Structure 1
Amino acid sequence: MEWILLFFFLPFVLTMMFFNWLEEKLFNFRDREKLGEGERLLHESKFVEAQAFFTEKLKYFPKSSKAYFHRSKANYMLKNYFSALYDIEQSISFDNTVGEAYVIKGKVLYQLKEYDKAFLEFDKADWYFRSENPETLRWRGMARYCIGQIENAINDFNRAVDLGDEDASYILRTKFEYLKKKY
């Protein structure tokens, strides 16, 4: 009896899995085709227009991780930190393999003065970038400095400098005065 039930149920399940996979691939293809204008607006520092653009796109593609990601960047630049946090969490929930998303989330948490959570996000980003992204290392060092891990922060800054990050070099030269004044 179970075999008969399995015989009829298994093709149904496999068909549903195939169509879900196909729908996801089509959404990703359409997203790439239609988000270029918003990315251009972000690149030109037209953050209000970019935010409106991605909000409009999310009406049609509510599961687009790229649209949420880019809207979070626009919100971050507009200092709408809670909106940026919501958007980046939505983006990560749809696609958690983008290291840059963890960097944005860490920056937002850093601006909200949640340094321990920001450190964890920068650490995730560093794992995705395999310690090859100087910006991630610098921001993780800044978060480590704020939670009292001075020696580890210095190591992160030195690794960022080795990768060519001039901002990390400046922070080290000024003995963290830049961090005390700015943040």
Structure 2
Amino acid sequence: MEFLVVLAVFGYIYYLRNYADLRTKSEKEAADVADGIRLFKDNQISQAFAYFDAKIKAKPKSSFAYLYRGLCYKALGDQSAALNDMITGLSYDGTIAEIHLEKGKLEFASQQFKEALESFDKAVSYGGKQNQIPYHWRGKTRQALGNDVEAQKDFFKEADILKEKLAQGPSYEQPKVPLADKRLAITSVLVLITSAILVLSIKDAESIHLPYLLAAVSAISIGFFEPVRGWILAISQCVLLLVGYFVFTDIPESSGKLELENFSLYGSCILTFAGSFIGGFFKRALNAG
């Protein structure tokens, strides 16, 4: 039983780490190279280039690493190498609007207007309708090709987006995490499974150590992977523990066994709340760092 519980705990953590992350591929790649992006934005071009060059050697299919190494090449004056990196990045993921945009800028600068127009079309297509920059560049390219009517449409669209952003005003609020979504639903199912295993461990264990270990590890995992909504999962786990114990198990006749189970049950509930708080604290500390 103890082996199965430990196996379940590590399986739970592995799942949360590798499969409950519902970010897109490009979002994960951007997060993976965040340190290099900061170097580039701080105009530390040489350090940023070394970072992305090493990242490409370690992960040769990282489109975002090619994007930013290409931007470093551009900043260093090597337009040809920059364009090659953009093309290579798109060969691994052709849906990243930023790469299409930067590729188009390089093509525009070398007067490859037809190629640039194709790139800006894709930047508009993949970048959504709330980014004015691809429209601006596509308008300039159409103007260079003599298509003034379509160019004006792009410039009007650019102006409309800018007006809408100005009307909304500056926003300094962090994006709000929805109260419920697919990720929370998946994690809730895992909490249900963990709670069932925890109830079984409470009934089977000869001491409080195993239930407490399972409760603490699962709760810390809850807080770490759901730092904002971990309290919902912590409450759910406590309710499931109490319902599972009192509704689906038999109360022992022995007073000693009853005392041990109660100690394990209520202690596990307390550890669930404490652990979720600690896990959330660690995750916020890591994000802040």
Matched residue count: 141
* 1:102 alignment partner in structure 2: 100
Note the C-alpha offset of 1:162.
1.0
1:20-31 alignment runs, 5 A limit: none
Runs of 4+ off more than 4 Å: 27-34
C-alpha distance in 1, partners of 2:121/2:30?
28
CA spacing shift, 1:148–1:38, aligned 2, 3 Å: same
- Cα deviation for residue 42 of structure 1 reads 1.0
Read off the aligned partner of 1:35 and give its amino acid letter: V
Give percent identity, aligned residues only: 30
1:113 is aligned, of 111, 114, 117, to 111
User: Deviations 1:110-129 (Å, cap 9, x if unpaired)?
Assistant: 11111111011001111112
Q: CA-to-partner distance for each residue in 1:155-176, whole Å, 9 max, x for gaps? A: 11111011118xxxxxxxxxxx
Give 5+ residue unaligned stretches, structure 1: 1-21, 166-183
Contact 2:26 2:96 in 1 (8 A): no
- By how many angstroms is 1:71 displaced? 0.8
Residues 158 and 28 from structure 1, CA distance in 2 versus in 1: closer, same or farther, beyond 3 angstroms?
closer
Partner of 1:147: 145
CA offset at residue 88 of structure 1? 0.8
Alpha-carbon distance between aligned partners in 1 of 2:27 and 2:141, rounded to the nearest angstrom: 36
Matched, 1:38 2:39: no
Q: Which amino acid is the alignment partner of residue 153 of structure 1?
A: A
Structure 2 residue aligned with 1:124: 122
Q: Which ranges of structure 2 fall in alignment gaps of 5 or more residues? A: 1-18, 20-24, 164-289
> In the aligned structure 2, how far is the partner of 1:112 from the partner of 1:32?
28
CA distance in 1, matches of 2:136, 2:27: 34
Partners of 2:132 and 2:27 in 1: how far apart? 31
In structure 2, relative to structure 1, the CA distance for the partners of 1:154 and 1:33 (3 Å cut) is closer
CA shift at 1:147, angstroms? Answer: 0.8
State the 1:101 CA deviation: 1.0
Change (3 A) 1:153 1:90: same
Question: Which residue of the other structure, out of 59, 69, 86, is the alignment partner of 1:88?
Answer: 86
What residue is the counterpart of 1:61 in the other structure?
59
Q: Distance in 2 between matches of 1:139 and 1:72?
A: 19
Q: Which residue of 2 aligns with 1:4?
A: none
- The TM-score, its normalising length taken from structure 1, stands at 0.69
Separation in 2 of the partners of 1:47 and 1:159?
33
1:160 to 158, 170, 175: 158
CA separation in 2, counterparts of 1:121 and 1:36? 25
Verify the 8 A CA contact 1:81 1:111 in the aligned structure 2: no
Return the alpha-carbon distance in structure 2 between the equivalents of residues 115 and 29 of structure 1.
30
Higher-Rg member (1/2): 2
Question: Are residues 122 and 30 of structure 1, via their aligned partners in 2, closer, same or farther at CA, if it must alter by over 3 Å?
Answer: closer
TM-score (norm 2): 0.45
Q: CA deviation at 1:37?
A: 1.9
SS in 2 for 1:148: coil
Query: Does 1:52 find its partner at 2:50?
Result: yes
1:131 and 1:137 in contact (8 A); partners too: no
Higher relative contact order structure (alpha carbons within 8 Å, sequence separation ≥ 6): 2
Q: Hey, what does 1:180 align to over in structure 2?
A: none
Q: State the Cα RMSD in Å.
A: 2.5
Tell me the SS of whatever aligns to 2:162: coil
